[in-house]
Amino acid sequence: MIDDMLPWGLLALAIFWAVGAYNRLVRLRGAVLAAFPPLDARLSQCITLLQEPAPLRFDPSRTQPLLLASSLWTGLNGACTQFDVALRVVRRQVMDPEAVAALRTAHDTLHTWWERLVQDTAYPADHLPAAWQMAWLENRRQVAEAGEVFNQAVRAHNEAIGQFPALLLARLFGFRAAGVL
């Protein structure tokens, strides 16, 4: 009699394990999806900050404000547009590693242009207002904090779908590795 129940017991154990493992994978995916909106809000603040009117400094010998005439300002605006497009794609596909990689690249490009603008406007006539620079630095700190929370959730998710035997369920139900920012 016990020999007849053993296969059924093992089958029940396997089913309970599968349900538990699947629920864990869903919970970890949900954690990644929940960690993105705070990061999205901080990243959107970068765009908002750069879309505010540029701090203009006039030189009487010029007809245009110095920053608006700057090719660096144009480059920064172009990087901002690229970043905005990449962020919109990730909003629709948070779990897509290629989309997140494109966002990471756009974010790095945006910061490179910002640093170049800050270095180029180090002269008194072109100087960026300190409040604008402080707002940028504060936003950068907040993005780093929210990004770390997101990256931890992604790492936990990716670890879980890579572990045997949950790996089998992950493949069966289409769980894929997500990308870190």
pLDDT in tens, 169-181: 888 888 999 999 9
170 CB burial (10 A radius; 0-12, 13-18, 19+): buried
Q: Determine, yes or no, domain membership for 155.
A: yes
Domain count, the chain: 1
Q: Determine, yes or no, domain membership for 181.
A: no
pLDDT tens for 20-67 read 889 999 999 999 999 999 999 999 999 998 877 655 444 444 444 455
Q: Determine, yes or no, domain membership for 72.
A: yes
Q: Determine, yes or no, domain membership for 159.
A: yes
Measured CA to CA in angstroms, residue 98 lies from 12, 17, 104 at distances of: 39, 32, 10
Note down the domain range covering 150.
2-173
pLDDT at 129: 73
pLDDT at 49: 87
pLDDT at 125: 45
Measured CA to CA in angstroms, residue 115 lies from 6, 53, 79, 82 at distances of: 67, 18, 12, 17
Q: What is the mean pLDDT of residues 96-117?
A: 94
Asked if the model's pLDDT at residue 127 lies above 80, the reply is no
Q: Determine, yes or no, domain membership for 179.
A: no
Q: Determine, yes or no, domain membership for 178.
A: no
Q: Determine, yes or no, domain membership for 41.
A: yes
Q: What is the pTM of this model?
A: 0.82
pLDDT at 45: 93
Q: Determine, yes or no, domain membership for 82.
A: yes
